[in-house]
Amino acid sequence: MNLKNLNLLIKRLKYLRNTEESKRFNMRYFGTEKITKNDKKIDNSIFSVPVCHTQACLAGETVLLTGSGKIKPKGGIKLLTDESNIFGVATRDLDLTINQAERLFYFKEWNDGINGWPAEYEKMYLKAKTPTERLNVAIKRMKCFIKTKGRC
Tens digit of each residue's pLDDT (9 = 90 or more) over 99-125: 999 999 988 877 667 888 999 998 998
Q: Which residues pair with 55 in a beta bridge?
A: 32
- 135 closest CA partner among 31, 28, 12, 4: 12
Beta carbons within 8 Å of 84's beta carbon, 6+ residues apart: none
State residue 124's pLDDT score.
93
What pLDDT digit, counting tens, does each position of 43-87 carry?
444 444 454 444 568 898 899 999 999 888 777 788 998 888 888
Could you list the beta-strand ranges (E) of 11-58: 30-32, 55-56
Residues counted in the chain: 152
| Average per-residue pLDDT for the chain | 82
- What are the sequence ranges of the domains in the chain? 3-147
Rounded to two decimals, the pTM is: 0.82
